[in-house]
Amino acid sequence: MSPKDPPAEDMRAGMQRWLDNWRVVGPLLEQERAERLAAMTDEEAQERTRDLLALWRPSELDDMGAELVAQQRLFTAAARSARR
């Protein structure tokens, strides 16, 4: 542990706050996810599925998660367009 590291008690308190927060917001986010999925048309669901599947490419070499980064970009763009 270096002098810059927070004390273990502070770290535990921070983790506890994080867990307490997720106990509250987790169900709210799940409810929002379910509502968005229920409101999605079949065409929208098919389009999003095609977009996600298009990101996958079999490769003999490990890409170190590059496809996950591409998926996150897609999710971010979808979230932004949903807010408009």
83 shares a domain with 62: yes
30 shares a domain with 54: no
Length of the chain: 84
Q: What is the pTM of this model?
A: 0.48
Q: How far is CA 56 from CA 34, 63, 64, 67, 70, in A?
A: 25, 11, 13, 7, 10
84 shares a domain with 52: yes
50 shares a domain with 33: no
Long-range contacts of 48-56 (CB under 8 A, 24+ apart): 48/78
Q: What's the rounded Cα separation, in Å, for the pair 15 and 12?
A: 5
68 shares a domain with 34: no
Per-position pLDDT tens, the chain of length 84: 566 777 888 899 999 999 999 999 999 999 999 999 999 999 999 999 999 888 877 666 666 677 788 888 888 988 888 887
Give residue 70's domain range: 41-84
